[in-house]
Structure 1
Amino acid sequence: MSALVLALLAGGLTGLALGALGGGGSMLAVPALIYLLGFTPAAATTAGLVVVTLTSVTALVTHARGGAVRWREGALFAAAGLVPAAIGGAVSGQLPSGVLTGAFAVVAALAAVRMLRPPATVRPDEAPVRTRRVARTGAGLGAVTGVLGVGGGFLAVPALVNVVGLRMRAAVGTSLLVITVNSLAALAARAGTTVDVDWAAVAPFAGTAVLGAWDGRRLAAKVSAGALQRTFAVALLAVAAFMLADAVL
């Protein structure tokens, strides 16, 4: 199978996951770029940020049209992750490939486990928002985005539910705003690096990811969110196990 066909297929799946779940797409993008298209881990995380940014913006527009984005809360959460995302983006290019691959595998496994757990209980609307906790969580999410080139929706969605008190539908839409901001900050930090990225392969990947994000939003309206998450989580666990074995062996 040609590299172009692989890029188109992998990009479509990435966008579908991101549009349907509000996150998780980059967990597919980075392994696909490494193992299907031959990118180095450093190049894959950089390219992954480009793909995640474009697909997040696309999915954000669709969710915003449905009134599912809380702009004020999302901006506060995202602001806490700006500096950590920029620092992580600058540090990522200096890390050995094995460390990046192993770290990504661990984070992917944690994301899968999080998705398999029962949905979190929504915090009562009248309870006060814990600003420090929001700042800590947002900063941690930004750092993960910067170093590993992932959007971090699997962390953002439950945090927006438990810490900020959003309903699940609003948390999914608002997480896309957070992902977009963090990804842009991480990309800006990587702008001066010497990582060699094959943009000819990234372009079709990103293009089908954007289209997939539109379809993912429609899929989320028709299929149970729990069923989507469980299916994606099982696939993600398999990817994480493969990557961890590759990093260790």
Structure 2
Amino acid sequence: MMATLVLALLVGGALGLLGGGGSILALPVLVFVAGLPTTSAVPMSLLVVGCSAAVASVSRIRAGHVHWRIAGVFAVTGAAATYGGALVNRRLEPRLVLAGFGILLVVTGARMFLDRPARRNGCAAPDGGTELRRCLPRAVAVGALVGFLTGLFGVGGGFLIVPALTVVLGLPIATAAGTALVIIVLNSFSGLMSWLGHVDLDPLLAGSFTACALLGAAAAAPVGCRLPAKALRRAFSVFVLAVAGFVLVRVAAA
């Protein structure tokens, strides 16, 4: 229990520092450290991720780093997709879910490590904003993909949302990070609703894990606004790749 709660601090802290990506650690912690089955770990992960992102988003909202229209588009398209992801999860063997999650970790860690400069496309407006109407189909497609992964694996999807907002929709990185946190909150609680009636959560573990993640997010979010994002993401990506290797080895040995 103590190891689980210490790692919950890390999950929230990573989310607060990076504006996305830290939530991907919640599922392996709940499965391999807390010992939960995937059908319980995924909805608990959504609870932790949603609450942590809500706390981490406060400083970004105050700084004006949220594009509310884009967040709304992602939330609407993602809401339906989270139900589809949760449905697929309940029909798959736990081993297949974890194998897919391990592959997702590899892709996420590699992408974060490479951290190539964003090349903005025609969605970026001359005034520094985004021409959302012209790029709406892209926003809908990415929002649906993120929502599906949220329901399937219990992840916030910030590792996909942030690059999509910068590269596909042309948002500045600060605005992308703040907007991603708001989207994560909306998607996580939408995904959690899709699990209601299908699982019973341990209130003590859920409450303790969420509380520790909130503390980590609240402490790290103000720091994340000041530290160099590239160095943070490089260091975190190495850790994510290590976790990916652990997950895939455990799945192969099962």
| TM-score normalised by length of structure 1 | 0.93
1:132 aligns with 2:137: yes
**In structure 2, what is the Cα distance between the partners aligned to 1:95 and 1:165?**
36
**Corresponding position of 1:165:** 170
Structure 1 range deviating more: 6-15 or 88-97: 88-97
Is the Cα–Cα contact under 8 Å of residues 78 and 178 in structure 1 kept in the other structure?
Answer: yes
| Cα deviation code 1:110-129 (max 9, x no counterpart) | 11111112231344324744
1:190 aligns with 2:187: no
**In structure 1, what is the Cα distance between the partners aligned to 2:174 and 2:221?**
12
| Cα deviation code 1:4-37 (max 9, x no counterpart) | x223211110111111111112211111111111
1:12 aligns with 2:9: yes
1:99 aligns with one of 93, 96, 102: 96
1:225 aligns with 2:229: yes
Equivalent residues in 2 for 1:143-154 (5 A)? 143-154=148-159
Structure 1 range deviating more: 21-30 or 154-163: 21-30
* Identical-pair percentage: 36
Q: Match of 2:193, as an amino acid?
A: A
Equivalent position SS for 1:145: helix
Is the Cα–Cα contact under 8 Å of residues 120 and 168 in structure 2 kept in the other structure?
Answer: no
Is the Cα–Cα contact under 8 Å of residues 73 and 164 in structure 1 kept in the other structure?
Answer: no
| Cα deviation code 1:26-79 (max 9, x no counterpart) | 211111111111111221111100000101111112210111111112111222
**In structure 1, what is the Cα distance between the partners aligned to 2:218 and 2:120?**
27
**Corresponding position of 1:63:** 60
1:81 aligns with 2:75: no
Is the Cα–Cα contact under 8 Å of residues 14 and 217 in structure 2 kept in the other structure?
Answer: yes
Is the Cα–Cα contact under 8 Å of residues 120 and 169 in structure 2 kept in the other structure?
Answer: no
**In structure 2, what is the Cα distance between the partners aligned to 1:221 and 1:161?**
17
Gaps of 5+ in 1: none
1:238 aligns with one of 218, 235, 242: 242
Is the Cα–Cα contact under 8 Å of residues 59 and 222 in structure 2 kept in the other structure?
Answer: no
**In structure 2, what is the Cα distance between the partners aligned to 1:177 and 1:122?**
22
**In structure 1, what is the Cα distance between the partners aligned to 2:86 and 2:60?**
27
Q: Match of 1:211, as an amino acid?
A: L
Equivalent position SS for 1:93: helix
| TM-score normalised by length of structure 2 | 0.92
2:210 aligns with one of 199, 203, 206: 206
Structure 1 range deviating more: 46-55 or 79-88: 79-88
1:176 aligns with one of 181, 186, 202: 181
Task: Indicate how the Cα distance of structure 1 residues 243 and 41 shifts in structure 2: closer, same or farther if over 3 A, else same.
Answer: same
Gaps of 5+ in 2: none
**In structure 1, what is the Cα distance between the partners aligned to 2:26 and 2:203?**
14
**In structure 2, what is the Cα distance between the partners aligned to 1:28 and 1:57?**
17
Is the Cα–Cα contact under 8 Å of residues 68 and 169 in structure 1 kept in the other structure?
Answer: yes
Structure 1 range deviating more: 78-87 or 119-128: 119-128
Is the Cα–Cα contact under 8 Å of residues 11 and 206 in structure 1 kept in the other structure?
Answer: yes
- Note the aligned Cα RMSD (angstroms): 1.5
Aligned residues: 245
| Cα deviation code 1:149-169 (max 9, x no counterpart) | 000000000111122221000
Is the Cα–Cα contact under 8 Å of residues 46 and 155 in structure 2 kept in the other structure?
Answer: yes
Q: Match of 1:153, as an amino acid?
A: G
